Structure 1
Amino acid sequence: MKQPKVFEGGCLCGDIRYLVTATKLASHTCSCKQCQRHSGSLTQVWVELSNDQIEWTGPGGLPTVWRSSEYSSRAFCSQCGSTIGAIDDKPTVAIALGTFDSPNRQGLAPQSHSYISKLPKWWRIDHLKTCD
């Protein structure tokens, strides 16, 4: 049996912090209009987990939520405004990958993409200058 991995993350100001414990996480990207507006980006990267895999550890406790659909609420920090993710009515939480302390860790790479048709036709990175 695989040992669970521990992932930590939080908002920009540190008021909202979390600890995720899981043996495997599902990650995907989405370019629907709602994800674009919530993230301020053309594509949002989500890491999905169940409610029992996340512990809210920061001084702010649970993130603030705004009801965004019939089944889900968008979560954010009420202090700095950082996007944290989405909390569904069913026991699913989707955390924005950019809020993880180490988003480049093995096992967090997206496996699928939703609403690719909503991306602008010019959206690709192979023609851009790199800024590393």
Structure 2
Amino acid sequence: MTLADAQPAVRTGQCQCGAIRYQAAGEPDDPHLCSCEPCTRIGGGPAMLWVGFRGETLTWTGPGGEPAWYASWPTLLRAFCPRCGTQLASVAEDSPMVMVTAFSLTDQSGVAPVGHSYRADAAPWMTITLAPEPQPQQPR
């Protein structure tokens, strides 16, 4: 194993206009759809697709600096680009994870939803087929 093999994978993402960009290290965690009222309103669709990364691995890298933040719940902040309005992330109070909108990622491979929050509130015509839960790696 080389030193390069030991480095965690880095994912990048950005808003629509490119002013706000980010990178996060590690494997994407808990890809899931959410159909709560705030997610459907900010996303303009029947669900948002979120994926998590450890908060300490996310850095804002674009020329626009950090995104603007909005408290959509008393314990939840959401990040968006103040220039184009793209929703980018959410952070729950006391959580070590930051959730990014999966479609803001440059590469969405391996980010199929395995869960659906607020499924009972989803549009009645919406049919979802979730990805199977990831299986733990077996030792070789």
TM > 0.5? yes
Report the count of equivalent residues: 124
- Name the aligned partner's letter for residue 97 of structure 2: T
**Which residue, 26, 32, 37 being the options, matches 1:33?**
37
Unaligned regions of 5+ residues in structure 2, if any?
130-140
**Which residue, 72, 88, 104 being the options, matches 1:99?**
104
Output the TM-score relative to the length of structure 1: 0.84
Among the aligned pairs, what percent are the same residue? 34
Choose 1 or 2 for highest CA Rg: 2
Q: Moved runs in structure 1, 4+ residues, more than 2 A?
A: 23-26, 87-92
Unaligned regions of 5+ residues in structure 1, if any?
127-132
Alignment of 1:1-132 (within 5 A): 3-90=7-94, 91-103=96-108, 105-106=109-110, 108-124=111-127
Distance 1:93 1:63 in 2: 14
Describe the superposition over 1:12-62 as per-residue Cα deviations: whole angstroms up to 9, x where unpaired: 011100011104522111111111112111111101122112111101111
Output the TM-score relative to the length of structure 2: 0.79
Change (3 A) 1:78 1:24: closer
Whether the 8 Å CA contact 1:3–1:23 is kept in 2: the answer is no
